[in-house]
Amino acid sequence: RKEVEQDPGPFNVPEGATVAFNCTYSNSASQSFFWYRQDCRKEPKLLMSVYSSGNEDGRFTAQLNRASQYISLLIRDSKLSDSATYLCVVAPQAGTALIFGKGTTLSVSS
Amino acid sequence: DGGITQSPKYLFRKEGQNVTLSCEQNLNHDAMYWYRQDPGQGLRLIYYSQIVNDFQKGDIAEGYSVSREKKESFPLTVTSAQKNPTAFYLCASSKWTGGRSGANVLTFGAGSRLTVL
């Protein structure tokens, strides 16, 4: 089993749609979880950290399910500018280097 | 403004040549990292450094070398031993949590795109 797995997509949705991405991780002792966004041919940028209690930032909601070892990202009211690749990122233990999933590509169309 | 600067942005290399990619940060971060990204692939860790004069191999260190003589700088050399060096190279930095729980949020440079001719 790969350490961090994501559905590569692409997810093609119209503006205004709600879309959800899931990510699974193999190390049950993993400590920290993040979603990064990467635009085409650009560097990844932190979108949001993922906390056990779940967290929301505007149209974006992240959830963590430790029992099932998966992380989700929900995007509501999709905008054209949301088109990007979303990377699921996991820290296997505190203070270690992060492990990146291959990313899920989202394309929002008008 | 604080950030990470990578240079050059684009680099072409002939087979058999070594090349060095520069990475400088002024964020006062302790840890620095080098990742490689191939089309359709996730980021793979090449090397990372938690402190000056110390660094550790990542998952794909073969054919690469690094140095960390200054806190601000973490150059990567792609040697002729790297058989398939054409890729997008990303440098990143973070505060090092020293083993405490907490986020290792990475800040990335804009990347260096290396092409072997």
Closest to B32 (Cα-Cα) out of B45, B18, B17: B45
Residue B77 has pLDDT above 70, yes or no: yes
pLDDT number for residue A54 = 86
Cβ count within 10 A of residue A38: 21
Task: Flag whether residue A91 sits within 8 Å of chain B, measured between CB atoms.
Answer: yes
Task: Output the six-digit token pair for A31.
Answer: 């400590």
Do A44 and B40 make contact, defined as CB atoms within 8 angstroms?
Answer: no
Strands A11-14 and A104-109: parallel
Task: Flag whether residue A13 sits within 8 Å of chain B, measured between CB atoms.
Answer: no
A52 to chain B: which residues are within 8 Å by CB?
none
pLDDT number for residue B100 = 44
Closest to A95 (Cα-Cα) out of B85, B20, B97: B97
For B69, the 3-state DSSP assignment is coil
Do B104 and A87 make contact, defined as CB atoms within 8 angstroms?
Answer: no
Q: Which residues contact B81 (CB under 8 A, 6 or more apart)?
A: B62, B63
- Tokens 């403004």 found at: B1
**What is the C-alpha separation between B80 and B8, in angstroms, rounded?**
18
* Beta-carbon contacts below 8 Å between A and B: 61
Q: What is the pLDDT of residues A51-80, one digit of tens each?
A: 888 899 999 999 999 999 999 999 999 999
Q: What is the pLDDT of residues B10-58, one digit of tens each?
A: 999 888 899 999 999 999 998 999 999 998 788 999 999 989 999 999 9
Q: Which residues contact A56 (CB under 8 A, 6 or more apart)?
A: A62
Phi, psi dihedrals of residue B3, rounded to the nearest 5° = 180, -170
Task: Flag whether residue A92 sits within 8 Å of chain B, measured between CB atoms.
Answer: no
Total residues found in chain B within this entry: 117
Do B108 and A31 make contact, defined as CB atoms within 8 angstroms?
Answer: no
How far B117 CA lies from chain A's nearest CA (Å)? 20
